[in-house]
A = this chain, B = another copy of it.
Amino acid sequence: MPAKRPPIPLSRERIIEAALDIADTQGLRRLTMRRLGEALQVEAMAIYHHLPGGKEALLDALAQHVTTVSVDPSGLPDWREIARAWCRAGRQALLAHPGVLSLAMTKPPRGSAAAAIGEQVRQLADAGLREPAAAVRTLRSYVFGSVAVELQQTGWADPKAQPVMPEPDGEAAFERGLTALLTGLERFAET
């Protein structure tokens, strides 16, 4: 028979990982403290010991997790390519966890997520872009919205859980729109 105690002790990381898995496979509405405990082989109440803020803190942590990305700008020729890299990384991180997209778009960026935005602004400024904060805001808008529309199109949130149907044109549509946006930004935002 299996041991009663969990093989690995609980940790913030394991909790977040398990929560993401539930949200992505069953939907955010089914992410429940009790179900999360079950997935971790633990009573639900044990979670509070590692995540003092309760469920609200858990949701904040999930949002932060999927909006924290980083880009190495070395080797990228200009601000245009740096911006492109950040947008692609942001899109990938969001697409990887469709279950928590609504949290990522709703919760204000905190901690590592806010730091990532600051780093992006800095890189673009260093690369000679004028008003980098405004540009980053516009790019973030586009990334969030693109992923939302892409997931809408795949019917991810539908009643009969479709077999994922990855929508092959999603990436192409994203790149087309991104190029259009960068072309437009060039017009007034060059240094």
Residues of A with Cβ closer than 8 Å to B?
101-103, 105-109, 134, 137-138, 140-146, 148-149, 151-153, 155, 157-158, 173, 176-177, 179-185, 187-189
Q: Is the CB of A141 within 8 A of B138?
A: no
Copies of this chain assembled into the complex: 2
Residues from chain B with Cβ under 8 Å of A153 in the complex: 108
10 closest Cβ pairs, A-B complex: A145-B145, A180-B184, A141-B145, A184-B184, A138-B177, A183-B184, A144-B145, A102-B102, A105-B148, A141-B146
Q: Is the CB of A158 within 8 A of B108?
A: yes
Bound-state CA distance A151–B145 (Å) is 14
Q: Is the CB of A134 within 8 A of B173?
A: yes
**A107 nearest in chain B by CB position:** B157
Bound-state CA distance A55–B98 (Å) is 22
Shortest CB–CB separation between residue A83 and chain B, in angstroms?
12
Residues from chain B with Cβ under 8 Å of A145 in the complex: 105, 140-146, 148
Residues from chain B with Cβ under 8 Å of A151 in the complex: 106
**Residue among B106, B134, B158, B188 making CB contact with A148, cutoff 8 Å:** B106
Q: A101-B106, A180-B185 are in contact. Are A141 and B148 (CB under 8 A)?
A: yes
Residues from chain B with Cβ under 8 Å of A173 in the complex: 134, 137-138
- Pick the most buried of A106, A180, A181, A183: most chain B CB atoms within 10 A of its CB: A180
